[in-house]
């Protein structure tokens, strides 16, 4: 089981003093918020007032941490004004625009089976697009395709012959292209797109591969593809 750095530190601290983990965690994330505010204050002062613009390139990383906290943590006390301020920061296109041009937009593309759990979004952005491919013709129902996947040429050829598949893919590409352009313009760094089908082996894999090929043809984009069910098959 993978151990987080926080777990490791608490384990080491326990060698010296008794640690009430529940009490510690109740207040821990409040201090995380304080530390992020301190860092962003330093970035803003050095960047805006001292005109050292390279400090502003660290702002998007602090915003990424704020976004994770906003999605995953509930504080033990109500601080609505403070949280509203954080949400305003997260919505600020000016702050997002300070992202370094050296860090491209990462588009993570998944295929999965609706019979299993959907892919988890580790970026904190909320999961992105989830497309349901079960309405399309299913190669898995054909004996000659059953042992193949959406990466194999016979399955690709079969799906490429289907008008409904081309229409579906055209709509997906239009939506994703618009999001990619908007994310790049606003300085966002993560976009997640998931395709689900019945078994996660044919249609969803094909669509994920086609989208990846299309997005890679653009500029300033890093593409990561994962086929959840195929990974399980290959273990």
The 8-class DSSP code of residue 93 comes to H
Q: What pTM was computed for the model?
A: 0.61
CA 234 → CA 48, 142, 161, 196, 231, distances in Å?
52, 22, 28, 19, 5
The pLDDT tens digits of the residues spanning 53-81 come to 667 777 878 888 888 888 888 888 888 89
pLDDT at 208: 98
The pLDDT tens digits of the residues spanning 2-48 come to 457 888 888 898 889 998 888 888 888 889 989 988 998 898 888 88
Backbone phi, psi, residue 163, to 5°: -60, -40
pLDDT at 224: 95
1 — pLDDT class (breaks 50, 70, 90): very low
- Name the E strands within the chain: 105-113, 129-132, 190-197, 221-227
* Rounded Cα–Cα distance for residues 194 and 113 (Å): 10
Give the alpha-carbon dihedral of 109, 110, 111, 112, to 10 degrees.
-160
Percent of the chain with pLDDT over 90: 43
Assign 225 to helix, strand or coil: strand
Give the alpha-carbon dihedral of 207, 213, 215, 219, to 10 degrees.
180
157 — pLDDT class (breaks 50, 70, 90): very high
């Amino acid at each position: 089981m993978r151990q987080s750095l926080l777990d490791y530190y608490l384990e080491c601290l326990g060698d010296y003093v008794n640690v009430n983990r529940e009490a510690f965690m109740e207040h821990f994330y409040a201090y995380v918020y304080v530390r992020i505010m301190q860092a962003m204050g330093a970035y803003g002062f050095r960047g805006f007032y001292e005109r050292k613009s390279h400090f502003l390139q660290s702002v998007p990383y602090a915003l990424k941490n704020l976004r994770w906290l906003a999605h995953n943590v509930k504080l033990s006390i109500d601080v609505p004004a403070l949280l509203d301020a954080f949400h305003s920061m997260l919505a600020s296109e000016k702050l997002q625009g300070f992202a370094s041009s050296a860090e491209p937009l990462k588009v993570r593309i998944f295929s999965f089976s609706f019979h299993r759990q959907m892919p988890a979004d580790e970026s904190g952005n909320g999961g992105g697009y989830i497309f349901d491919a079960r309405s399309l013709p299913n190669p898995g129902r054909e004996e000659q395709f059953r042992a193949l996947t959406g990466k194999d040429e016979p399955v690709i050829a079969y799906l490429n012959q289907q008008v409904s598949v081309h229409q579906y893919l055209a709509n997906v590409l239009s939506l994703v292209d618009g999001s990619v352009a908007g994310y790049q313009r606003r300085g966002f760094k993560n976009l997640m797109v998931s395709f689900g089908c019945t078994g996660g082996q044919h249609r969803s894999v094909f669509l994920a591969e086609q989208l990846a090929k299309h997005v890679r043809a653009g500029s300033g984009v890093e593409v990561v593809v994962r086929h959840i069910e195929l990974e399980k098959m290959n273990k």
